[in-house]
Chain A
Amino acid sequence: MIEPIPTVLVVDDSPTVRKIVQMTLQREHIRVITAGDGLSALTSVADEMPALILLDIQLPRMDGYTICQIVRKNLQFRAIPIIMLSGKDGLFDKMRGRLAGSTEYLTKPFDSAELVQTVKKHLAGWQQRMPPQYEGMRTRLRRRG
């Protein structure tokens, strides 16, 4: 009757991008939380333990590469897939993202269908990645069908 839903954290300084991603993923029954800067993003990661992070690179207060490195160094959060969202499509930028620990790199302007496809691909098996202390978060349930 009921099943847990994954939470995706969207970190982008543009309110438009945050709203678009939120609307697009909510249609797919994915819960979305957002952050407009680097420090708020880290707070949200610790508080909410998202199943996936969509991360812009150019951010106020702390850039996406640094956030990615911090998440990857933390034993509790290191398994969270991080998809970098950036307007920079050069090989160097993609390499830098990969070195910082990103799982995938999406170039802006992205196609909303491509975004959904990528997010769904990396959300597969998200429940297995959740540490036991975040069990309580799974109580956010939705009615099936």
Chain B
Amino acid sequence: MESQDLIMDGDLQTLGLQSILKMLALSGKTGTLFIHSGRETLSISLRKGLIVALREEGVNQPDLLTMLCLMNRLDPQRAQALREAAQGNMQVALPLLVDQNWMSAAEMQQRLEFAITQSISHALRWVNGRFAFHRRVIAIEGRMQPLDVDSVLLEALRQADEWEEMGEVSLTRATMARWLPEVSNDVRSLGLSQDHIDVLCLANGEVPLQAMAMALMIPEARVARILARLLELRLVEVVDTALEGELQQDLTNIIIMSQHTLAQQRQNLAPDQHLIGLIKTLTQCINGLLIHHGTYAKSLRGRGQMPVADIVNYLERRFAGPLELMAKQQFPILETVSFANGQLDCTEIFNLDRLVRGEQLEEFYWEAVRGLAVFLRTVFTALLNDEVGNSYTGRQLNIVWKAFLTEIDQEIQQYQLYRAGQHAQQSRSRFNDSAFQGDVNWKSAEQDDGTFLRSSEWQRRSI
């Protein structure tokens, strides 16, 4: 905006937003009013004293199309097509919705009016900041009917009062909440109102309070009140995006490290070495996850620097039980595995070659691999559910985790095929009554019968 267009400017402490808007409306002005406070900027376009458009900068704008999808008002394919046609501009997307008969013109007007009221109500609470009124109106591509300043101001002030009445609250318009994973009872039995249920449905950890208000057309202050109640009832939790980012990075690094160890152990050609390599990979991964959980477990958060003994106790309380159960029910070899300082200690398995040899040793290793693979899954599932639950971060990490598990499964499957081949060869030898070579070499098995024994990827690596 050029400086010659500037009609007036000043400090919000000298002249409040309410007074400025009233003044511009009474004098029937045309132009754009900019209000700056911190990182946020609000621009209100006026034509002959009526509000024709509003734009907020410095805050993430809610994606109404996604909201409508979440509310089952629009299917995702249609939303995507509209998003592309509107190039992400909501002022364009809303009229397109009306053109397609997916929204009535009245609802569009109501939604635009609501959004403007919300933004002005938010700006009315700014204490520090500056304003500037320019002669030019910013070109807006919307189809909104001009709004009377008085009626918008009245509602905006009422909503601002609602925020003030709430007193000290930690919730802001950027707060995101998500369902707690342990909620299993029917929420209808809690006697929640329809508004509470609607807010609860949108609390998926990705929708900020402001967007919920916009989608449901419930004032932000009321949504904040509802969320506070849902928090009290322990139905939702507030999402800490910074913590989740850090947590995701840490888990990602553990998976990268484990995948690297897995790739390195693939070079082992002897079957027992291959199994030992797998045991090392699985143990390293489990221990990495345990260290991670000792830092990010929900019940250990917000308690400052915890004594190591408390963390160790927590980890053992959480995971020693499932390990013991697996040892009793499925994999007796896991009885030799213990917890030491919150870490899995597999020394006894690694020292098994001092006690047994040959086929029996391989059998023990094989059981340990299967048992640890199951335990690894148990640890990761429990950890992810506790730390991030069914959130966007949780789902993303699950995708990566599944890819890593597939690689582990391929290694296990490869050994299973080797075993099957070995058994077939034993049977054949007995049948032919020929001298049986008891210890089939891992490498020679690949050379003799590679297509059967090895996955194509393994063959490629050995080439």
A: residues with CB less than 8 A from B are 1-2, 13-20, 23-24, 27, 58, 60, 87, 108-113, 141-145
Contact = CB atoms under 8 A, between A and B. Distances in A.
Contacts of A144: 88
A18 B400 CA distance: 9
A22 to B, nearest CB: 9
A20 B400 contact: yes
Contacts of B249: 24, 112-113
B400 A16 contact: yes
A24 B252 contact: yes
Contacts of A142: 88
A14 B87 contact: no
B407 interface: yes
A14 B460 CA distance: 13
- B: contact size bracket: 20 to 34
A58 B403 CA distance: 19
B400 A23 contact: yes
Q: Rank and list the top 10 A-B pairs by shortest CB-CB distance, nearest first.
A: A143-B88, A109-B260, A15-B403, A16-B404, A19-B403, A109-B257, A16-B403, A16-B259, A19-B400, A109-B256
Contacts of B188: none
A14 B259 contact: yes
Contact of A60 (B61, B256, B457): B457
Contacts of A87: 260, 263-264
Contacts of B256: 16-17, 20, 108-112
Interface in B268-305: none
Contacts of B396: 23
B406 interface: yes
A31 to B, nearest CB: 15
Interface of B: 59-61, 63, 87-89, 245, 248-249, 252-253, 255-257, 259-260, 263-264, 396-397, 399-400, 403-404, 406-407, 457, 460-461
A142 to B, nearest CB: 7
B87 A1 contact: yes
12 contacts: A1-B87, A2-B89, A14-B407, A15-B407, A16-B400, A19-B400, A23-B396, A27-B248, A60-B460, A113-B249, A143-B63, A145-B59
Nearest to B461: A58
Contact of A20 (B59, B63, B252, B406): B252
Given A87-B260, A143-B63, A145-B61, A112 B399 contact: no
Contacts of A20: 252, 255-256, 259, 400, 403
B88 A112 contact: no
Contacts of A108: 256, 260, 263
B88 A141 contact: yes
A28 B253 CA distance: 17
A18 B403 contact: yes
Contacts of B397: 23
B179 to A, nearest CB: 22
Nearest to B57: A145
A1 to B, nearest CB: 6
Given A1-B88, A20-B252, A13 B457 contact: yes
Contacts of A13: 457
A97 B56 CA distance: 48
Contacts of A111: 253, 256
A143 B256 CA distance: 31
B89 A1 contact: yes
A100 to B, nearest CB: 20
A16 B397 CA distance: 11
A103 B60 CA distance: 35
B257 A141 contact: no
Given A23-B399, A60-B457, A112-B249, A16 B87 contact: no
Given A16-B406, A17-B259, 15 more contacts: A1-B87, A2-B87, A16-B403, A19-B399, A20-B255, A20-B259, A20-B403, A23-B396, A23-B399, A27-B245, A60-B460, A108-B263, A109-B256, A112-B249, A141-B88
B253 A16 contact: no
A1 B399 CA distance: 31
Contacts of A60: 457, 460
A19 to B, nearest CB: 4
A2 B88 contact: yes
